[in-house]
A and B are shown apart, each in its own frame.
Chain A
Amino acid sequence: MVAIPRSIRTRAAVAADLRCLLPKDSVLDDEESLRPYECDGLSAYRQLPLVVAMPETIPQVQAIARYCRDGGIPLVARGAGTGLSGGALPIEDGVLCSLARFNRILDIDPDNRTATVQPGVRNLAISEAVSHLGLYYAPDPSSQIACSIGGNVAENSGGLHCLKYGLTVHNIMKLQVVTIDGELVTVGGDAPDSPGYDLLALMTGSEGLLGIIVEVTVKLLPKPESAKVVMASFDDVGQAGRAVGNIIAAGIIPGGLEMMDNPAIRAAEDFVHAGYDTDAAAILLCELDGTPEEVEDDIERVRTVLEESGYASMQVAKDENQRQLFWSGRKAAFPAVGKISPDYYCMDGTIPRRKLGEVLSRMEALSKQYDLRVVNVFHAGDGNLHPLILYDGNNPGELERTEELGGEILNLCVEVGGTITGEHGVGVEKIDQMCVQFDSMALSQFHAVKEAFDPGRLLNPDKAVPTLHRCAEFGGMHVHRGELKFPELERF
Chain B
Amino acid sequence: MSDFIQQTGDTIKRAADQRTALRIEGGGTRSFYGRTVDGEVLRTSAFRGVEDYEPSELVLTARAGTPLAEVESELAENGQMLPFEPPRYGEGSTIGGVIATGLSGPCRLRGGAVRDAVLGCEIINGFGEHLAFGGQVMKNVAGYDISRLMVGALGTLGLITQVSVKVVPRPVEALTLAFDYTQGEAIEAMNRWAGRPLPVSATCHDGERLYLRLSGARTGVRSAAAELGGEAFSDPEFWPGVRDHQHGFFRDAPGLWRLSVPPATPPLDLPGATLLEWNGGLRWVATDAPARMPRDAAAAAGGHAIHFRGHDGDDVFHPLDGTRLALHRNLKRAFDPCGVLNPGRMYAGI
Contact = CB atoms under 8 A, between A and B. Distances in A.
A304 to B, nearest CB: 15
Contacts of B245: none
Interface residues of A, number: 93
Interface stretch (B43-51, B193-201, B286-294): B193-201
Interface string A412-450: 000001111111111000100010011101100110110
B327 A453 contact: yes
Contact of B135 (A109, A225, A382, A417): A417
A297 B142 contact: no
B58 A437 contact: no
Contacts of A352: 54, 57, 59, 136-137
B213 to A, nearest CB: 16
Interface in B263-313: 263-264, 278, 281-282, 298, 301-304, 306
Interface in A171-195: 179, 183-186, 189-195
Contacts of B189: none
B334 A448 contact: yes
B76 interface: no
B324 A191 contact: no
B262 A197 contact: no
Nearest to A451: B334
Contacts, number: 256
B143 A350 contact: no
B141 A423 contact: yes
A183 B323 CA distance: 7
A32 to B, nearest CB: 34
Given A224-B197, A352-B57, A195 B304 contact: yes
Nearest to A158: B139
Given A191-B261, A351-B137, A449 B144 contact: yes
Contacts of A383: 137-139
Interface in B116-156: 116, 125, 129-133, 135-146, 148-149, 151-153
Interface in A291-323: 291, 293-294, 296-298
A342 interface: no
B223 interface: yes
Interface string A245-257: 1101101110000
Given A442-B132, A449-B334, A112 B137 contact: no
B143 A465 contact: yes
Nearest to B138: A382
Interface string B205-227: 00000000000111110011000
B333 interface: yes
A452 B56 contact: no
A460 interface: no
Contacts of A420: 142
A99 to B, nearest CB: 20
Given A112-B263, A293-B223, A166 B116 contact: yes
A452 B331 contact: yes
Contact of A446 (B102, B140, B143, B278): B143
A331 interface: no
Interface in A383-428: 383-384, 417-426
Interface string A96-132: 0000000000000111111000000000000000000
A366 interface: no
A351 B58 CA distance: 13
B196 A222 contact: yes
Given A417-B136, A422-B137, 18 more contacts: A112-B263, A113-B191, A166-B116, A190-B303, A191-B301, A192-B260, A192-B263, A205-B144, A249-B56, A251-B170, A252-B169, A352-B136, A417-B137, A439-B132, A446-B144, A448-B334, A452-B327, A452-B330
10 contacts: A169-B145, A193-B260, A202-B144, A246-B56, A291-B220, A297-B217, A350-B140, A353-B57, A434-B143, A441-B131
